[in-house]
Amino acid sequence: MSTRTTDGLRAGDSRSAATSSSSTKAGAIAGWVDDRTGLAKGARYIMSKVFPDHWSFMLGEVAMYSMIITLITGVFLTFWFVPSAGHVEYNGSYIPLKGVQMSEAYASTLHISFDVRGGLLIRQIHHWGALLFVVAIVCHMFRVFFTGAYRKPREINWLIGTMLAMLALIEGFAGYSLPDDLLSGTGLRAAQGFMLTIPVIGSYFVYFLFGGTFPGEAIIPRLYSVHILLLPAIIVGLFAAHLILVMVHKHTQYPGPGRTNENVVGFRLMPVYTAKAGGFFFIVFGIIALISSLFSINSIWNYGPYDPTAVTAGSQPDWYMGFADGALRLMPGWTEVSFGGFTFTYGILLGSLVLLPLVYVLMGAYPFVEQWITGDQREHHLLERPRNADTRTAIGVAAITAYCVLWFAAGNDIIATHLSLSINDITWFFRILFFVGPLLAFWVTKRICLALQRADREKVLHGRETGEIVRTADGRFYERHEPLDEYTRWHLVTGEPPVALALDSGTDHNGVRRPASKSERRRAKWARFFYKDNIPPVTPAELIAAQHDGHGHEAVAEIESGETTSRH
């Protein structure tokens, strides 16, 4: 091992005389730190990391930047927010509530909104930033799912993203409940009712969590600790792990000229990508600040302090929790049963406490289920066009459809009152649509993807339609097609031909039935379901034949012999 120090390595540098005094001092400090920490090698590796340039990759950056903005504004709010349910009489600037008894949490939130300079703007930036954080995470996960970016070796990162999405929902609910206004208190009361449906231990768990009977005085300080300490620490830790794995793995990229599974085409972290990322952060911050300045959100002074005997009419949860509320409204009455003198409300339990984790468990398990079905154990660094993975895309659209049905069902009372319809009819409509809608969405999406695959195939083989009709000397008519350029054609021919697992015979070479044959046959059937309708991409031999109008037999034979040789 070399024992030379950084000073010794720089001793023979002929450029040292030309450097300025400030740069020399900075280099000396950097050398001193590197001698004691060895950070130079890791920093060099990180700085030279290449990131591809595509707009969809910014969705993850939006999530990270909005999280940072939410954390910074949250620190500002902690200076004045009082996490206490102790009762006080309000004597602040908001005249309509003067002399009203309320909790210290609600009074301090009013104080931030009306008496702290810039407090209302910071509150709104905090709330809008949190909403954008959840939106960006969801959109980022859509991009990852529909392009197949979760495949090996990124399954762990998909699990981390799934946990982040679920924790973001819980964190948002905790922050939404802290002001102790009538709307947030109603949501907290609903959550307390959900917890009571836990068999056997429900009432004990609620008594422990709230520090007594509802509403108690312990829930606000406990939610405050969870909201500003526990969940942010976990979220930041998971985000750090997510970014580290992005650095460890090659970044995924869309297919294109010069892009393979072995390289990444784009910009290095320093200086280009860092400069672009820094500018994009201020764009995100500016947009959030602009929205917060122009559009009011969570105007708690309009609701008043929480009162257990009152409820806000037409109250709805935030959009990201709406699907759980919709599931509760669609649950039939027969899910409540009585046994041994006790009443069990399984409908509420399934629609609230079971549904939320179940959704994210299924999301987290999907990459492993698909890997088992397809038998694909290869590393993937190139993304897929959603149309080329028709079954996966159809499954994703079906899941989004089911979510949207539940989300709309959360407003069945608003729909009924505004459109003068029967709420019973609306509820039954959404119940049927929850089962029929995803199946219909799956079928339509798959048909569209297959049609787009066929259209791409025709475009590669025959060129782009020009709309010009040509008449030949013998009186025939045909449409002139314009050949595609190589860069346009590249995106249409890239893709891996689907290979469905062959059905196993179920017996070994001696004719004895193997124990695992049923499982393997089931797996092969699922693989056939995934791949049976997929249109294979155009091969070089087919392209040569099409370009020669079916007469390039020699070129086709040469291409096919080359493909056979490469396969062997």
Question: What is the DSSP annotation of 448-505?
Answer: HHHHHHHHHHHHHHH-EEEEEEEE-TTS-EEEEEEPPPHHHHHHHH-SPPP-PPPPP-
Confidence of residue 266 (pLDDT cuts 50, 70, 90): confident
Taking only the tens place, the pLDDT of each residue in 153-170 is: 999 999 999 999 999 999
Would you state the pLDDT for residue 45? 76
Strand partners, 240: none
What is the DSSP code string of 496-542? PPP-PPPPP-SB-TTSPBPTTHHHHHHHHHHHHHHHTTPPPPPPHHH
| SS3 category, 381 | coil
Would you state the pLDDT for residue 517? 67
Confidence of residue 365 (pLDDT cuts 50, 70, 90): very high
Would you state the pLDDT for residue 492? 77
Strand partners, 181: 305
Which residue type sits at 487? Y
Separation CA 257–CA 137 (nearest Å): 30
Q: Which of 23-32, 287-296, 381-390 has the lowest mean pLDDT?
A: 23-32
Higher-confidence residue of 233 and 321: namely 233
CB 502 within 8 A of CB 374: no
CB 177 within 8 A of CB 210: no
Rounded-to-10 torsion of CA 356, 360, 363, 369 = -100
| Residue percentage of the chain with pLDDT more than 90 | 39
Residue 46: CB partners within 8 Å, gap ≥ 6? 247, 269
Could you write out the three-class secondary structure of 224-277?
HHHHHHHHHHHHHHHHHHHHHHHHHCCCCECCCCCCCCCCCCCEEHHHHHHHHH
Would you state the pLDDT for residue 200? 80
Q: Which of 146-160, 169-183, 189-203, 527-541 has the lowest mean pLDDT?
A: 527-541
End-to-end CA distance of the chain: 45
CB 59 within 8 A of CB 282: no
Could you write out the three-class secondary structure of 92-132?
CCCHHHCCCEEEHHHHHHHHHHHCCCCHHHHHHHHHHHHHH
pLDDT above 80: residue 268: yes
Would you state the pLDDT for residue 565? 44
Average pLDDT, the chain: 83
| Residue percentage of the chain with pLDDT more than 70 | 88
Q: Mean pLDDT over residues 499-508, rounded? A: 55
Q: Mean pLDDT over residues 259-268, rounded? A: 84
Would you state the pLDDT for residue 290? 96
Domains of the chain: 3-47 (no CATH), 50-310+322-384 (1.20.810.10), 446-560 (no CATH)
> What's the whole-model pTM score?
0.84
Would you state the pLDDT for residue 549? 58
Place of tokens 């130079």: 40
Q: Mean pLDDT over residues 334-344, rounded? A: 76
pLDDT above 80: residue 60: yes
Would you state the pLDDT for residue 232? 95
Q: Which of 57-71, 262-276, 422-436, 494-508 has the lowest mean pLDDT?
A: 494-508
Q: Which of 120-134, 313-327, 349-363 has the lowest mean pLDDT?
A: 313-327
Taking only the tens place, the pLDDT of each residue in 179-231 is: 999 988 888 888 888 888 888 888 898 888 888 888 888 899 999 999 999 99
| Total residues belonging to the chain | 568
| Residue 335, Cβ density class (10 Å: 0-12 exposed, 13-18 middle, ≥19 buried) | middle
Would you state the pLDDT for residue 340? 75
Confidence of residue 512 (pLDDT cuts 50, 70, 90): low
Higher-confidence residue of 505 and 33: namely 33
Confidence of residue 136 (pLDDT cuts 50, 70, 90): very high
Q: Estimate to the nearest angstrom the gap between the alpha carbon of 195 and the chain centroid.
A: 27
